[in-house]
Every structure is written in structure tokens, then in C-alpha cells.
Amino acid sequence: MPATCHPDADIAPVQRWSKREIAAQALSWTGGLSLLRRISRSRELDSRSTRLQALRRVSQSKYLILCYHRVGTEGIPYYCTLPVPQFEMQMRYLRRHYRILSMAEMVAEMQNPPAKPTQAVAVTFDDGYSDLHKYALPILKKHEIPATIYLIADCIESGQVAWYDRIFLALQVACSRIELPLPGAAHFSLGSSQQRIEVGARIVSILRNTPVAQRKEACAALEKQVQLPAEPLSGRMLSWPQIREMRSAGIFFGAHTLSHPALGQLSRAEIERELAESKRVLQERIGEPVLDFAFPFGRPEDCGPFAYEAAARCGFRSAVTTTWGYNTPGANMHALRRVQLGDERTSAAFGLQLCRSFLAASESAPLTAPASLPARSEAHLAAEHALVQGSSNA
């Protein structure tokens, strides 16, 4: 059923709902979703039990950090799409139903929590794509959402997209087959656009776990085989004037390294350079302290054993990962968890996933990404999860 024919105005345009979306909408219409939101504020579900007694009283505040990358559907980044109406629906839902904090406010409250347990949400974006200025900024201003954007410093300085975006572009314009200097003499056959996105995710997943020199060699070999067109590469990253305009409008900025490497592949000195230099560049350009950081890719194996300590030594007050889940007072401020819910196409499905995230007991294992994904964007989501979280779906 097209959403435009439906009385619920908080449904982004879709042509067909999944079973999960239908179930979430039914829960919303019957008042169950509102009840679940109220329950999640005072109760949590002990995942070790399936009995009703598993619902127990919440003993501490919970803070959810949402992770996005872009708002838009065209061009780079090919691994990620988010229709503008869908993003606005999600921001409207957050403003109606949750307390929204900046990262500075969230960190301060986690360090000095209120006496009564509470919930709050922060909105973050990684990388610094230019469609955030064109599409996200008006929505964030409209709903008064103090989002934080983590910038790849070298990409903003040069105006060039990161190495993995160049891989995805190369695969979109390549012929039917490529060969890369990877273990096992890797050959890749290319078909549809969606298949090329999936192949790109596999290549990036391999390269993020290889030494930097080998990754650069593979990228250079790919670009010898495929000439990248200039137009898709032009203007894809935020410019400094756009960043300053967004900062004046209440948007905050953090660092996302110089070049977006997997820090686990670097030495201690290289890690500190990526963090400290990105901080320095951003502070000089923006004209204020840059105190928040996001780890590239963000899984523990991507960060390695030294990165969390390095983030603290470099003067960041917070550092976020892509480990799935919420945060509580007393958490390591340099290993904060985030969740990715941008694929949710209806307000009911988005709200249900927020409730699920808050309902989990704090001592439970890290949450995993929702198993059921909308069919419309399976390839893009599989690629995004592989790129950002290392999903085995890609």
C-alpha cells in the first residue's frame, strides 16, 4: 500500500511494507507502541529469561547514540542511501517522543547522572558528505536537533572522497571483471549495480583488515584498470564554508581521523598521528575545540588494542564505536556504543526499534543489528553493514 494513501502522516513513501513493518504499524494503531515506550522508561528485559518476570525495574539511565552517514539517494556513497522524507520522519519521531541531547550534553549527564533513571538520544553522522548540508541541515534545524558530524579531515581539506568510496565508484563504472592484488589472486565478476555494491563491500572488508601499504597497492591497481569519472567525485564532501554555516546553525563537529584507516592496522605512533592531527586541523578550520571522535569502521578489531587509550591521550572527551547498544553512566567515554536505524521506513518500525534498544538489560551482550531488513534496500544495507560493522551478509 503506498504511504501516500495512508492516514498516518509519519510514514515515508514506500511501495510495499515488510511483515515486520506491518506488525509494527498494527502495534502503533492499537496503542501498543505507546505502551511499550512507557514500559521501556521504567522496565528492562533480562535477555537470559523468556518469562514475564524477565521485565525488571530500570536501575540506571540509558543513552542511545544514533549513527547515520548520509541523507540522500544519489551518487557517492553508493553503499548507503537514505531518502530525505524517511530521515525527516525519523527526526520528527525523535522530537515528539524522546529527549535529544548533543554529545557534550550526553557526556556531561553520563558523568553526573540524575537521581531518577532517564532516557536520551543523540544523533551523529560519520564522514562529512555534502548532502548533509543540502538535505539534513534544514531538517535538523526545523526539529531543533543538535547533531554531531564526525569529519575525515583529509577528505574535507582536499574535497576528495575516502579510499573506500573510490572503490565503490570504480566498481560502478568498471566492465564485467576486475582483478586485484589480494590474497588468492582475487578476481571479481561484476553484474548489476546492486551486485557491484556487494562486491565493493567484500573488497573493503578485506582491505580494512590488511596493512595500509597493501591496501594502497590494491586501490592503485584498481584505478589503473578503471578510469574514475570526475563528475561523481565532485563536491561530495562538505566544504569549510558549509561546515561553518552548519556550526552557526547549532550543528556540532567531531574528528574521524585524517584518512579513515582501520586503526588496528597501525602502530601506536600512526594511531596518535591520525587522531591528533585530525583534531588539530579541524580546530584550526572551525575555530573552536574539537572534543568528540568516531573510530573508523568502529568494531573492536578495527580499533585495535591502543586506539581507545589514544583517544583519551589526544584530548577527546568522547569516542564512539559501531558496537551495537546503548550507554549507561560509568561507561568508558572512549568506547561508546551506537545503533543504526536509518533503514526503518515507517515511524512505527523506527519507534519499535528504539523501544527494543532501550528495553535490553544493561549487562546483556551487545545487541545485534535487526535481522529483518526492508527488501527495497537489502543490497545497500548489506554493503553498509559490511563497511561499518563487518557484517557477514556482504
Tell me the residue ranges of DSSP E strands in the chain.
43-45, 55-57, 62-68, 119-127, 148-151, 177-180, 186-189, 252-255, 292-294, 318-324, 336-338
User: What region does 360 belong to: left with phi over 0, alpha with psi -120 to 50, or beta?
Assistant: beta
Which grid cell sits at 59? 536501575
Distance of CA 376 to the CA centre of its chain: 19
- pLDDT score at 19: 84
- pLDDT score at 53: 52
Dmax over CA atoms of the chain, in Å, equals 62
User: What region does 325 belong to: left with phi over 0, alpha with psi -120 to 50, or beta?
Assistant: left
Instruction: Flag whether the pTM goes above 0.95.
Output: no
- Fill in the amino acid letter for 95: R
Ranges of the chain whose pLDDT falls below 50: 1-9, 11, 52, 363-382, 384-385, 388-394
Q: What is the DSSP string of 208-225?
A: TTS-HHHHHHHHHHHHHH
d(CA 3, CA 19): 15
**Class at the top of the CATH hierarchy for domain 3-159+235-389:** alpha beta
For 231-257, what is each residue's pLDDT tens digit?
999 999 999 999 999 999 999 999 999
- pLDDT score at 16: 77
- pLDDT score at 46: 73
- pLDDT score at 56: 85
- pLDDT score at 187: 87
- pLDDT score at 47: 63
